[in-house]
């Protein structure tokens, strides 16, 4: 395996291997230093502290050193220099590049320029494949399986890249049904829906389907993804997971969220047995370690 | 085959080059745009001539340039009815088969303003065909799909 740009870069057996590898890594007292003497470049042209830190920690755990930029620094590099030149420079310093960028398709473009592997850590509203592996690993931990489950994706299904990656990754499995719960302005993109090979239905009112759902995946409605701010104001709080909603859910259902959240899940829900988003966040480092493993082929 | 009738005699036969016939009326200039014909070529353009098959059609003759497979395929995007004949020493030596291209690089722009191809000077737009009827092509970078109308609009300019 070389680049990881889309979840389509993973086959069903890649997912299975990643789950097993993550299980193994989580139980290891000392991690194998498979990235010893290697340098991982973290090129975050768009800031994301959580993702940056988890990739960085995963690399360090495996013996790598890291270089890179994030936050303000990353944003100003994105403004000042063209992407291709920055990637060429990083090729001189590193053995692989983890890239986060605000433009759709930036990771794929970077991979075409780069001689070393590129991992997409989120490109615009396009994809965020490693987050999806974390999401699916959490589901696998809770249900032992992905097949046969009923999913509900709720919130911004149009501009949230985790949704694209999640829906695409489900094509590698056999979900029973997928409900796409969103206001019409934020419905999933048609080109993504056309790729899906499993039953799905678009729903506006979650009350119609909430009792059937095993996995409720909640997304943040992000202001910066909207071309128009007034559109954002109209829909920003369309869906809030509160105690009332949780009371309608099945006892063994789980709620996932890629975090950080704003108001879409109320804090009192955190203590319910369905809330699994902190558990999900705790898998970020081991899953990304497993992904590094696969890239270096160990 | 070219049927020589009086109307076509306004344009003389060419010795070597390409004759593109049966172009939908009004699209000859767009065909030249697709072929990126640079200065220096001798070109004959016939527009809006009568055609039995098509009512009206355009014809383009280019001297000393043989249109290749890739260029021929690009022509299908705006002129699916076109026939392309390669001429050597006044004879038609080859008729190009037209096939909607599987990949179009550089010619079409992605409609997604946040696509990397609209934001980096080095990122050249590239589309993959996902269906022929109706014609749909997908940006290989951001997965935005463009349809026949959009393709026509881009190549012909906004007037169509
Ligand atoms: Zn695009």
Residue A53 lies in a domain: yes
Chosen from A7, A103, A226 to mutate, greatest number of chain B CBs within 10 A: A103
Closest CA to B127 of B119, B115, B98: B115
Predicted local distance difference test score (pLDDT) of residue B5: 54
Ligand 1: distance of its center to the CA of B124 in Å? 10
Q: Are residues B13 and B77 in the same domain?
A: yes
Which of A83, A84, A105 has its CB closest to that of B142?
Answer: A105
Number of domains in chain A: 2
User: At which of B82, B97, B112 does a domain end?
Assistant: B97
Instruction: Please report which confidence band the pLDDT of residue B11 belongs to, taking 50, 70 and 90 as the band edges.
Output: low
What's the domain range around A291? 7-128+283-297
What percent of chain B has pLDDT above 90?
71
A106/B116 Cβ within 8 A: yes
Q: Are residues A59 and A49 in the same domain?
A: yes
Q: Which residue does chain B place closest to A192, by CA atoms?
A: B143
Can you give the pLDDT of all 298 residues of chain A as single tens digits?
Answer: 589 999 999 999 999 999 999 999 999 999 999 999 999 999 999 989 999 999 999 999 999 999 999 988 888 887 777 899 999 999 999 999 999 999 999 999 999 999 999 999 999 999 999 999 999 999 999 999 999 999 999 999 999 999 999 999 999 999 999 999 999 889 999 999 999 999 999 999 999 999 999 999 999 887 776 778 887 887 777 789 999 999 999 999 999 999 998 889 999 999 999 999 999 999 999 999 999 999 997 5
**pLDDT (average), residues B138-151:** 96
Q: Are residues B52 and B109 in the same domain?
A: no
Q: Are residues B17 and B72 in the same domain?
A: yes
Ligand 1: distance of its center to the CA of A224 in Å? 19
Ligand 1: distance of its center to the CA of B132 in Å? 19
Q: Are residues A206 and A254 in the same domain?
A: yes
Residue A2 lies in a domain: no
User: At which of B97, B118, B134 does a domain end?
Assistant: B97
Indicate whether B122 pLDDT > 60: yes
Instruction: Please report which confidence band the pLDDT of residue B158 belongs to, taking 50, 70 and 90 as the band edges.
Output: low
Q: Are residues A81 and A187 in the same domain?
A: no
Indicate whether B70 pLDDT > 60: yes
Q: Chain-wide mean pLDDT for chain B?
A: 89
Is residue A220 part of an annotated ligand binding site? yes
Q: Are residues B35 and B76 in the same domain?
A: yes
Q: What is the pTM of this model?
A: 0.90
To the nearest whole angstrom, how far is the Cα of B155 from the nearest Cα of chain A? Answer: 23
Q: What is the CATH number of the domain that holds A248?
A: 3.40.50.1370
Q: Which residue does chain B place closest to A102, by CA atoms?
A: B114
To the nearest whole angstrom, how far is the Cα of A83 from the nearest Cα of chain B? Answer: 7
Q: Are residues B78 and B111 in the same domain?
A: no
Which of A105, A125, A190 has its CB closest to that of B116?
Answer: A105
Q: Are residues B11 and B83 in the same domain?
A: yes
To the nearest whole angstrom, how far is the Cα of B112 from the nearest Cα of chain A? Answer: 9
Q: Are residues A80 and A140 in the same domain?
A: no
Number of domains in chain B: 2
Beta strands A177-181 and A150-154 are parallel
Q: What is the CATH number of the domain that holds B128?
A: 2.30.30.20
Residues of chain B contacting A189 with CB distance shorter than 8 Å: 143
Q: Are residues A257 and A149 in the same domain?
A: yes
Q: DSSP letter string over chain A?
A: ---B-SGGGS-HHHHHHHHHHHHHHHT-SS---TTTT-EEEEEESS--HHHHHHHHHHHHHTT-EEEEE-HHHHHHHHHHS-HHHHHHHHHHH-SEEEEEESSBTHHHHHHHH-SS-EEEEEETTTB-HHHHHHHHHHHHHHHS-STT-EEEEES--SS-HHHHHHHHHGGGS--SEEEEE--GGGPPPHHHHTT--S-EEEES-GGGTGGG-SEEEE----GGG-S-HHHHHHHTTS--B-HHHHHHS-TT-EEEE-S--SSSB-GGGGGSTTB-HHHHHHTHHHHHHHHHHHHHT-
The answer to whether A47 and A101 have CB atoms below 8 angstroms apart is no
User: Look-up: residue for tokens 């057996």?
Assistant: A13
Q: Are residues B71 and B110 in the same domain?
A: no
Residues of chain A contacting B119 with CB distance shorter than 8 Å: 103
What's the domain range around B70? 2-97
Residues 6+ apart with CB under 8 A from A75: A45, A46, A47
**pLDDT (average), residues B25-39:** 87
Predicted local distance difference test score (pLDDT) of residue A277: 98
Q: Are residues B78 and B137 in the same domain?
A: no
Residues of chain A contacting B112 with CB distance shorter than 8 Å: 104
Predicted local distance difference test score (pLDDT) of residue B36: 82
To the nearest whole angstrom, how far is the Cα of A121 from the nearest Cα of chain B? Answer: 15
User: At which of B71, B97, B123 does a domain end?
Assistant: B97
Residue A1 lies in a domain: no
The answer to whether A21 and A290 have CB atoms below 8 angstroms apart is yes
Q: Are residues A12 and A54 in the same domain?
A: yes
Residue A94 lies in a domain: yes
Predicted local distance difference test score (pLDDT) of residue A222: 77
Q: Are residues B16 and B77 in the same domain?
A: yes
Per-residue 3-state assignment (H helix, E strand, C coil) for B25-68: CCCHHHHHHHCCCCCCCCEEEEEEEEECCCEEEEEEEEECCCCC
Q: Which residue does chain B place closest to A85, by CA atoms?
A: B122
Q: Are residues B53 and B116 in the same domain?
A: no
Q: What is the CATH number of the domain that holds B35?
A: 3.30.70.140
Q: Are residues A82 and A186 in the same domain?
A: no
Q: Which residue does chain A place closest to B147, by CA atoms?
A: A191
Predicted local distance difference test score (pLDDT) of residue A3: 96
């Amino acid at each position: 395996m070389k680049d990881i740009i889309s979840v389509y870069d993973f086959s069903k057996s890649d997912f299975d291997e990643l789950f097993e590898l993550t299980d193994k890594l989580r139980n290891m007292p000392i991690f194998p230093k498979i990235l010893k003497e290697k340098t991982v470049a973290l090129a975050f042209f768009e800031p994301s502290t959580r993702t940056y830190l988890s990739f960085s920690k995963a690399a360090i755990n495996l013996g790598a050193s890291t270089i890179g930029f994030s936050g303000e620094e990353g944003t100003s590099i994105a403004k000042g220099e063209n992407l291709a030149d920055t990637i060429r420079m990083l090729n001189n310093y590193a053995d692989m590049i983890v890239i986060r960028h605000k433009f759709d398709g930036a990771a794929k473009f970077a991979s075409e320029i780069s001689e070393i592997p590129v991992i997409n850590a989120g490109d615009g509203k396009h994809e965020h494949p490693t987050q999806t592996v974390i999401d699916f690993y959490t589901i696998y931990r809770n249900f032992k399986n992905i097949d046969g489950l009923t999913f509900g994706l709720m919130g911004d299904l149009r501009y949230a890249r985790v949704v694209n990656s999640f829906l695409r990754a489900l094509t590698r499995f056999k979900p029973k049904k997928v409900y796409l719960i969103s206001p019409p302005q934020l419905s999933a993109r048609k080109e993504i829906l056309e790729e899906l090979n499993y039953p799905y239905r678009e729903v506006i009112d979650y009350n119609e389907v909430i009792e059937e759902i095993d996995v409720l995946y909640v997304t943040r409605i992000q202001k910066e993804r909207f071309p128009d701010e007034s559109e954002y104001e109209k829909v920003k709080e369309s869906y809030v997971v509160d105690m009332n909603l949780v009371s309608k859910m099945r006892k063994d259902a789980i709620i996932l969220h890629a975090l950080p959240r704003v108001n879409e899940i109320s804090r009192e829900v955190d203590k319910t047995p369905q809330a699994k988003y902190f558990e999900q966040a705790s898998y970020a480092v081991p899953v990304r370690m497993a992904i590094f493993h696969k890239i270096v082929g160990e | 085959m070219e049927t020589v009738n009086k109307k076509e005699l306004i344009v003389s036969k060419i010795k070597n080059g390409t004759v593109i016939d049966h172009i939908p009326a009004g699209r000859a200039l767009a065909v030249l745009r697709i072929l990126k014909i640079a200065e220096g070529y001798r070109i004959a353009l016939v527009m809006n001539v009568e055609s039995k098959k098509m009512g009206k059609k355009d014809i383009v003759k280019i001297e000393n340039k043989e249109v290749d497979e890739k260029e021929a395929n690009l022509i299908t995007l705006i002129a699916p009815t076109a026939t392309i004949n390669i001429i050597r020493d006044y004879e038609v030596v080859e008729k190009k088969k037209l096939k909607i291209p599987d990949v179009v690089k550089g010619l079409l722009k992605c409609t997604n303003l946040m696509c990397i191809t609209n934001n980096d000077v080095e990122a050249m737009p590239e589309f993959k065909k996902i269906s022929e009827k109706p014609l749909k092509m997908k940006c290989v970078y951001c997965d935005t799909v463009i349809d026949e109308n959009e393709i026509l609009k881009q190549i012909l300019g906004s007037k169509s």
